[in-house]
Structures are given as structure tokens and as C-alpha cells.
Amino acid sequence: MMNRNLKQSFAYAAAASAVAGVLPAFAATHAIVPDALPRPTTDGANRWSLHREDVLGTSLDAVVSASSRAVADRAEAAALAEFTRQSRLLSAWDAESEFSRWQRTHGVPVKVSPELLAVLQQFDRWQGETGGVLNASSETAAALWRHGVEPSTAELHAAVVAMGQPHWQLDSIAGTATRLGAAPLVLASFVKSLVTGAAADAALRAGATGVMLNVGGDIVTRGVLAQTVDIADPKADAENDLAIDTVQLQDRAIATSGGYRRGFAVAGEHRSHLIDPRTAMPASGVLSSSVIAADPATAGALATALSILSPRESEALMERHPGTEYLLMIADGERIVSKGWAQYQQARVTPAGYRVPAAGAGVPTSGNWVQGTELVLKVEVPRMDNPRYRRPYVAVWVEDKDKYPVRTIALWFQKPRWLNELKSWYRDDQIRNLSEGTDISANPQVSSATRAPGTYTLRWDGKDNEGKLVKAGKYTVVVEAAREHGGHSLVRQEIDFNGTPAQFSLPANQELGMVQLDYRKH
């Protein structure tokens, strides 16, 4: 159930994740699906939201538009059933899936399901279409880089040769697939997008008038439902950094790929997890690529390819796919977009900052926030071994000496009606709302969906909720967490923001892991 437009924040290489059996890529998107009263759509239907963990090895955020809650429930059930069915066929992390069982065979034709045969056929097509860049055996080269040492020329050459061999032989008439060679195979490049598209279609067949599915960053929209998507700056490292672009999708899919978050540390340097099979080297020229297409599998396959190919090669490839648009962020900072990308772009609201008179970095000006400084927070959502686990609601905010909340930095929640479980934040925000008359929970620069276990980075630039710089001096940083079927945690730390760097580590407690605060020059 929704009370405002949805929003996603893109960040990473979505196409190389869960169906492959490797670790899910850094969640390319973070769905904002607060669940309030049903919101009417243009066709008179209502919208309901759903969040599930462990779908294709990652998380699922879904929104369904339907005439009633009963129809929405049927549509959601149909989508989940399709995810389950396809996982049993294509999952590589499930040792008993059809794909895993087939991969353990060698040299003998095996009768396979139409779905697995179709995926292998598509992989063959995409491998040829991308000049070999999409290769199911890229794990052969990736294994060399995981040791943290530069592979030798001979090792790289051997990997290129191994990846260049045919990996299977298909007989579409007999419906068989013969496993060739012994290289480990990964089908993640586009399969997650393909399966997500199939699940979205299943929801429509079950009666939904519109659906949005976000599976670990691959987003598919179908029917009447439109989706606004933020694409994050690949050079940014904080959850609340501004996006580089915003697009709106309807009856389209978007996938984002890139190796700036995932990869290998080699001699102290980051190397992308995306491998160019032509050289066995990690891709390096493109930080991220986002592709919009009508077909989800096409978006997933091309997003991965564009993160490996050179911009010139990408342009030539995309010319063969009219109606499919892309955005590339190059390592040198250049931004490249296709001619049709603009049709999806949306105007973005950028918070205005109050300009103080020029002064040297680290020097207060007339009592204002010290220029050239920032607060970086690392907030850990702990992992809990509990079958009733629900992601906690989390609020991070800053109070002045009078305990007035000058800035809410982050608010992670699902259902607005349960925001009052964040007791301290909610009480402070009610006071603030009476004074300012604005709804923080509806601000997409602040609010987003609950987060999976992990450590998240946030940044405060010294601006209040209106985008104006605060005065230098003492403020209290507050982090609060509350969880259904769980407990409540609140930590506070006073910091003197006077230009002198300071670090604080707040111990883990019931609902929060370690919270680290770093007031520093940037």
C-alpha cells in the first residue's frame, strides 16, 4: 500500500548476481516502498507493496496495482510462485536445481526443461552478439584474481583459452544439452532479469493491472504502474549521496552493472569483479552502465556487456538494438547517454545549500559550519538468526543543544503507520513538523526502504532540513532502531563541530551493530 511515488537508488552491478550462484551484487537499487493506505491509480485500482528476503538469493521489493486486495494477493502469490519455480530450474546456489544437476554431467546429452534449454540458447546468442564478452565461464578468470596477486601472463592466457572453448552443445529438436569441458559455469548475466520479467508477467496473468518488481537491483515494470528510478553516482560511497540521474519507467525494465563496489583487492588496488573474457582482465574503463529496454533479459545482458566493452564498442552494439537506451559513467568522469535516454529522464529536486562567504577550508565563518568538513557515519544493521526476523526501522538525525531535530539524515521504514515505533525520532519529528510544516517521511532524499543486514555509510554536510548550513558548535547525533518481533535501541553522541576532527565508536546493542562517527575534513 502506497501513499507516494516509489523511488529506487541505483549503485552497482546488478546483472552479475544471484541466479549465478555467486554472492548477490551490491544492491543496485534500494526500493522505497512504504506501505500505507492503498493509493488509487489512473485506472481506478489500488496499489499494495510487498517485501521478501531470499528471492533469487537477494531481496524483493514489489508493488502491485489491482482492483482489490484479494486480486493483489493472488498476483503477488503468482509472482512468488514463478520465482520459486524458476529457481528450482536455474539456480546455481541450489545443488539440487536442474541447472546444478546438469552441470555435474559431462559429455552426455541430457534431456532438459524448455526453460533451461531456452536460457542456454539465449546465452549462446548473447555471447555472439557481444563479441564474446558475455561468457558463462568468466569464473575461470575471476578465480585467478581472488588470490589478491596479479596473475602471470601464462595464467591469463590459459584462462582466455579455456573461456574461449564451447561449454555446451544443444539439440533443440531432441531437447537435450550436452555439458562440454570442466570450466565452472555462471548464468547470471541476464537470467535474474529474465526470471523477474517472467514473475511480473505471472502477476499480470493473475489479475494485476500493473506491477513493479525490484530484485536486488533489476527492476521490471508492467501494465499501468509507472516507476521513478534514481541512478546513483558510482563514485559516491554514502547512502544519502545525490543521484546522477532520474528516470521514469512504464512497461520497461532497467538493469545497472559495474564493478566499482564489488571486486578484488590486488596489491592494495580495487579490481572489478567483471571480467573481459577476451583478456581475462577485470574491466576498468566503465564505472557503471544502466540499460533501459522493453525486454528484461535484454536490459540485463546489455548492462553487463556495456560495463566491459569500450564506449565505442558499446555504441556499435547498441545501434543494433533500437529502442534500447543506456547511460555510461566512464572512469575519467565522462557521462555518455544514448540519443533516446532523454525520453525517460525526470526533473530532479536538488536540495539547495546556503552559501556562506568564502573562507579557507577548516575555518569557521561568522559562526557558521566549518567549510571543508563533514560527518561520515557507518551504521551496522546486525544479522540475526531468527525465523521471525524483520528488518528494523532505523532513523538517524541530528539535534541541536535545545534537542531540536535540525536534520534527519536517514529514515528507513516500510509502513508509515508504524513510524511511531521509532519513539524518540517520532516525538522530535512531531515537534519539528509543527514548526516547519513538512513531512520528512515523504522526502526521497531522506526516506527509503528498510535495509538488509550490513554496514551502511551516511554523510552529513552540516545542512539542516531546508538545505541551509547550521552554526558551528555542539550537536548530538542520534541513531534509533525498532524491529517487529524485536526490541528497541537508541544511541546518542554529542560532537563539537568546530573544525577539529574527531572519531567515535558506539558499541553494538540489541537492534544496532557498531555505529562509527568520523567528523573530518573532506
- Could you read off the pLDDT tens digit of each residue along the chain, which spans 522 residues? 333 233 333 232 232 332 333 222 223 333 333 333 344 555 556 888 887 877 887 888 899 999 999 999 999 999 999 999 999 999 888 889 999 999 999 999 999 999 999 999 999 999 999 999 999 999 999 999 888 889 999 999 999 999 999 999 999 999 999 999 888 998 877 899 999 999 999 999 999 999 999 987 789 999 999 988 888 777 776 666 777 888 999 999 999 988 766 777 777 788 888 999 999 999 988 999 999 999 999 999 999 999 999 999 999 999 999 999 999 999 888 899 999 999 999 865 444 333 334 444 444 445 789 989 999 999 998 877 766 677 889 999 999 999 999 999 989 887 777 788 888 898 888 888 777 777 777 666 676 777 878 888 899 999 998 888 999 999 999 999 998 767 899 999 999 999 999 999 998 888 899 999 999 997
CA distance 221 to 269: 38
Place of cell 585467478: 144
- How far are the Cα atoms of 38, 195, 206, 210, 271 from residue 71, in angstroms, in the given order? 13, 22, 7, 12, 47
Q: What share of the chain is helix, strand, coil (3-state, %, to 5)?
A: 25, 30, 45
What's this model's pTM, rounded to 2 decimal places? 0.74
3-state secondary structure of 488: strand
Q: What is the pLDDT of residue 56?
A: 82
CA distance 307 to 323: 19
Q: Give a yes or no: residue 395 inside a domain.
A: yes
Q: Give a yes or no: residue 40 inside a domain.
A: no
CA distance 224 to 23: 33
Residues 6+ apart with CB under 8 A from 295: 197, 253
Dihedral angle, C-alpha 227, 228, 231, 237, nearest 10 °: -110
Q: What is the pLDDT of residue 108?
A: 97
Residues 6+ apart with CB under 8 A from 257: 12, 13, 14, 15, 16, 25, 274, 288, 289, 303, 304, 306, 307
CA distance 26 to 20: 14
**Which three cell numbers mark 256?**
545497472
Contact status, residue 31 vs residue 468, Cβ threshold 8 Å: no
Q: What is the pLDDT of residue 43?
A: 54
Q: Give a yes or no: residue 91 inside a domain.
A: no
CA distance 288 to 331: 9
Q: Give a yes or no: residue 420 inside a domain.
A: yes
Q: Give a yes or no: residue 75 inside a domain.
A: no
Q: What is the pLDDT of residue 112?
A: 97
Interhelix angle 188-205/114-129, rounded to 10 degrees, is 130
Q: Give a yes or no: residue 491 inside a domain.
A: yes
What CATH number is given to the structural domain containing 473? 2.60.40.4070
Q: Give a yes or no: residue 18 inside a domain.
A: no
Interhelix angle 69-90/188-205, rounded to 10 degrees, is 150
CA distance 378 to 386: 24
Q: What is the pLDDT of residue 444?
A: 60
Q: What is the pLDDT of residue 333?
A: 83
Q: What is the pLDDT of residue 113?
A: 97
Contact status, residue 465 vs residue 404, Cβ threshold 8 Å: no
CA distance 30 to 381: 15
Q: Give a yes or no: residue 381 inside a domain.
A: yes
Q: What is the pLDDT of residue 445?
A: 61
Residue range(s) defining the domain that contains residue 465: 373-521
Environment class of 381 (CB within 10 Å of its CB; exposed 0-12, middle 13-18, buried 19+) = buried
- Counting the structural domains of the chain, the total is 1
